[in-house]
Amino acid sequence: MTDLIQLLVAGLATGAIYALVAVGFTLLWQTSQTINFAQGEFVMVPAFFVLAAMKFGGLSFPVAILVGIAASVLILGAVFKRLLVDPMIRHGVLPLVISTIALALFLKEGVKEFYGAEAQSFPALWTTTHVTIAGAVVSLQNLVIIGVAVVTIAVLQWFLGRTRTGRCMQATAQNPALARILGIRVERMILYTFLINAALVALASLLISPIYLAKFSNGETLGIVAFIAAIVGGFNQVRGAIVGGLLLGVIDNLVAAYLSTQYRGAIPLFLLIAVILFRPQGLLGRAEERSV
């Protein structure tokens, strides 16, 4: 029983990270049909912005964090859209897929060349004390991560649903042509989603780097898992991403603990295939939104 709680909490914490990454992925897809194969690397990079700011800029950790987030939003948000997405958006999904694959390689190798292959330890935002819940020992970190992720996505939900800009963004996502007619500045709305995505991955980066450590190869698995989480939860659903993420995190742990460690990676994939074939709108998705 304690084991189970242990597994659940740990799984939820990992899942919360997946969720943060998946949400941004979903946003990009909705507004610009961008399948970003570099999403994982996007999570890896901000940590290095922060480290670089501290190492070369000699900034203090808090300042460095702000710099890091700013840099991410600028480079992984605005610049990414300008230089890669905009020129290719008219030409369908595939060229963009290819360039994001190349971008992933570019970021990975870039970080490795200019900062080193070694995993860098990253200062934690809070003390790594443990608390005991129903006999299960849970690190404060995990709880914070879950909390932050849930709050962030709740806020995002509110923003998209309740604020004017948010609703314009949703309109843009659902029917760009109509949105344009309604006088919504579609281009800007799309830009916003890219900025939000960049902010989210930066946040994820800050949350995980103390545990994952900052390493050039961190993005490799993360990106794919985020895709799976996004689709399982519902490709057209911000809410879906967090469900998908948490579900994946938990499943991974339960499978590893009770079924097979060697095939721990397989179950999410079966889940993915099942969802796509029998419920393409995702677990939380609404049927009429399915873009199959």
Least CB distance to another protein at residue 218 (A): 8
Is 27 near another protein (CB under 8 A)?
A: no
CA-CA distance, 155 to 56, in Å (whole number)?
Answer: 34
Within 149-208, the residues that bind another protein by CB under 8 A are 208
In degrees and rounded to multiples of 5, residue 239 shows phi and psi of -60, -40
Burial of 262 (C-beta count, 10 Å sphere; 0-12/13-18/19+): exposed
DSSP 284: S
Q: Which amino acid is at 183?
A: G
Within 33-62, the residues that bind another protein by CB under 8 A are 35, 37
Number of residues lying near another protein (CB under 8 A): 80
Question: Cβ(187)–Cβ(82) under 8 Å?
Answer: no
Is 80 near another protein (CB under 8 A)?
A: no
Question: Cβ(45)–Cβ(173) under 8 Å?
Answer: no
CA-CA distance, 14 to 138, in Å (whole number)?
Answer: 13
- Considering Cα of 79, then 61, then 203, then 209, what sign does the dihedral take? positive
Q: Could you say which of 63, 75, 256, 283 contacts another protein (CB under 8 A)?
A: 256
Q: Considering only 145-153, 175-183, 192-200, 273-281, which stretch makes contact with another protein by CB under 8 A?
A: 273-281
Q: Considering only 43-51, 97-105, 155-163, 240-248, which stretch makes contact with another protein by CB under 8 A?
A: 97-105
Is 83 near another protein (CB under 8 A)?
A: yes
Q: How far from 56 is each of 64, 114, 115, CA to CA, in Å? A: 11, 12, 11
Q: Considering only 68-76, 100-108, 178-186, 195-203, which stretch makes contact with another protein by CB under 8 A?
A: 100-108
Is 82 near another protein (CB under 8 A)?
A: no
Interaction mask 226-245, another protein, x per CB under 8 A: -xx--x--------------
Interaction mask 106-145, another protein, x per CB under 8 A: x-xxx-xx--xxxx-x------x-x------x-x------
Is 105 near another protein (CB under 8 A)?
A: yes
